Homo-oligomer: A and B are copies of this chain.
Amino acid sequence: MTQRREQRAADWLAAAGLRPTRARLVLATLLVGDGRDRHVTAESLFEAAAGGDEAVSLATVYNTLRLFCSAGLLREIMVDGARVYFDTNMTDHPHFFWEDSATLSDAPKEELEIRRLPMAPMGAEIAAVDVVIRLRSKSG
């Protein structure tokens, strides 16, 4: 179980050609160890690592998240002006953003149907399409 989690993390790093260092394995295990998609901020991941017994410094968490991102392992989601979120699910898919708690979750991709999309202007190409559905709790 723990073995398998770490194996998954190691494979994930290997797939991107990244060295399996201690910090990277700790963070990768938290990110993809159980194979489910996850949304983290640097802070939340830092706390998760510290909560286990495998602390990683906050600076390294930041650096490592950026590294995973540029290696194509994570996707950056911009949803909150203040915080940056990272998603282990690399495909274009919609997100729910809970304004009350500032948390992020996947929205069911099958339920989004974009029929037509504006074309990229001349000389540009579409890098990604972010769809964020902002939710507020129904008060009335």
Contact = CB atoms under 8 A, between A and B. Distances in A.
A81 interface: yes
Contact of A133 (B80, B113, B118, B135): B118
Nearest to A105: B121
B114 A115 contact: yes
Contact of A131 (B119, B120, B130, B136): B130
A20 interface: no
Interface stretch (A6-14, A50-58, A92-100): A92-100
Nearest to A114: B114
B130 A130 contact: yes
Interface in A116-140: 116-121, 123-138
